[in-house]
Amino acid sequence: MAPTRATIEDVARAAGVSRAAVSKVIRDAYGVSDSMRERVSAAIADLGYRPRVAARAMRGSSRTVGVQLPRVDNSFFARILVGVFDHLEGTGYQTILAPMTHAANGKAALESLVDRQVDAIIAVAPAVSQTWLEQLGLRVPLVQIGQHDDPEHYDVVTGDDEEGSRLVMAHLFELGHRRIAHFTVDQRALSDPPADPHLARTRIYDELMTERGLPTDTRAIPLTEEAAYAETISLLSLADPPTALFAGHDELALGALRASAERGLGPEEFSVVGYDDVPIASHPLIGLTTIDQFGEEMGFLAASLVLERISGRTGSVLRQTDPVLRARRSSARISSATQAAGAD
């Protein structure tokens, strides 16, 4: 049968000391003699004792940072996670992940983290209002990644979506594109004021197209590769199809490339630009032009901010990563034939 797990009491008895003494040793607390530390450590090793997180959480801290993630099968979120783990590793804080389930609205995942009494929360692109996050930030050290909030009680890490979008549009304009479509987020539980990064991208797209007197063609779709594929098919079936697409992010861009590749269209006929620079984007067979917003760095920053808050810092800190354009072969100068075809 499974032997019952050793408790602090067992260790105390084995070492011939009090429970309090053992507690002090495992927490490396002040006021323990060397001989006591040795005896206790020996007993701990002997019994294979490991403190239970639940019992510790009852009296103090769970020594855990909780991360909420919208989806686990998204390469950009994975980049962020890598950054978070890199920073938290060796800090004495464990990390647990509460991925949003299908039904979930983000709230559920964050609440489950609170129920576990995590010492801090890193919320990645949470689909909850800023007001709700403020409440949460009041109770637990909190860092939000992605949304352009302007909070009082938590920190925020984002990319500079406006600058990134300007880089995208300038790139496409320079390549001669004028009929440029744009994919952006579908209806979403948008916070008030709207802070979704996709909204910033769309805003710049609108602004720069309008500035040049060009008609906009924005399509709000679910943020999935499938949706982007389907929408691109319909885009390319237009009498006068666009010559370029600014996809809201790389997953959408990959879906668009799926459609254009199936039709045998190259970048001279249909250029595609994404956002995020997921790892596969740099693969020579894909060569997706995109914006690198340094997901690992975002995760790393969020982790350090959250540690600061655990240490007592309040107020709010905003951090942004600087976007960089990665020009690859999915975008190219428009061919003269294509250009002529689309002439008014």
Partner DNA sequence: TTGAAAGCGCTAACAA
Partner DNA sequence: TTGTTAGCGCTTTCAA
Q: Which does 261 bind (CB under 5 to 8 A by kind): DNA, a second copy, none?
A: a second copy
* DSSP H or E stretch at residue 226: helix 225-236
Of the pair 15, 235, the CB lying nearest DNA is at 15
Relative to beta strand 271-273, strand 244-246 is parallel
| Bridge partner residues of 318 (DSSP) | 156
Contact code string over 158-197 relative to a second copy, x by CB under 8 A: ----------------------------------------
Of the pair 64, 165, the CB lying nearest a second copy is at 64
Q: Tell me whether the omega of the peptide bond preceding residue 70 falls within 30 degrees of 0, making it cis.
A: no
Q: Minimal CA–CA distance to 271: which of 317, 316, 327?
A: 327
The Cα–Cα gap between 65 and 264 comes to 48
CB of 88 vs a second copy, minimal distance in Å: 8
The Cα–Cα gap between 66 and 1 comes to 34
Relative to beta strand 290-292, strand 324-326 is antiparallel
Contact code string over 107-126 relative to a second copy, x by CB under 8 A: ----xx-xxxx---------
CB of 10 vs DNA, minimal distance in Å: 8
Residues that bind DNA (CB under 7 A): 5, 7-9, 16-21, 23-24, 26-27, 29-33, 35-36, 49, 51-52, 55-56, 58-61
Of the pair 5, 27, the CB lying nearest a second copy is at 5
Helix (H, G, I), strand (E, B) or coil at 217: strand
In this structure, what DSSP letter does residue 127 have? -
Q: Which does 210 bind (CB under 5 to 8 A by kind): a second copy, DNA, none?
A: none
Q: What stretches of 149-229 adopt beta strand conformation (E)? A: 155-159, 180-185, 217-221
Q: Minimal CA–CA distance to 169: which of 250, 289, 265?
A: 289
113: phi then psi, degrees, rounded to nearest 5: -70, -40
Of the pair 56, 203, the CB lying nearest a second copy is at 56
Kindly state whether residue 52 participates in binding a second copy, applying the rule CB under 8 A: yes
Q: Which does 18 bind (CB under 5 to 8 A by kind): DNA, a second copy, none?
A: DNA
Residues lying near a second copy in the complex (CB under 8 A): 2, 5, 50-55, 57-58, 62, 72-73, 75, 78-79, 81-82, 85-86, 89-90, 94-99, 101-103, 111-112, 114-117, 138-139, 225, 254, 257-258, 261-262, 279-280, 283-286
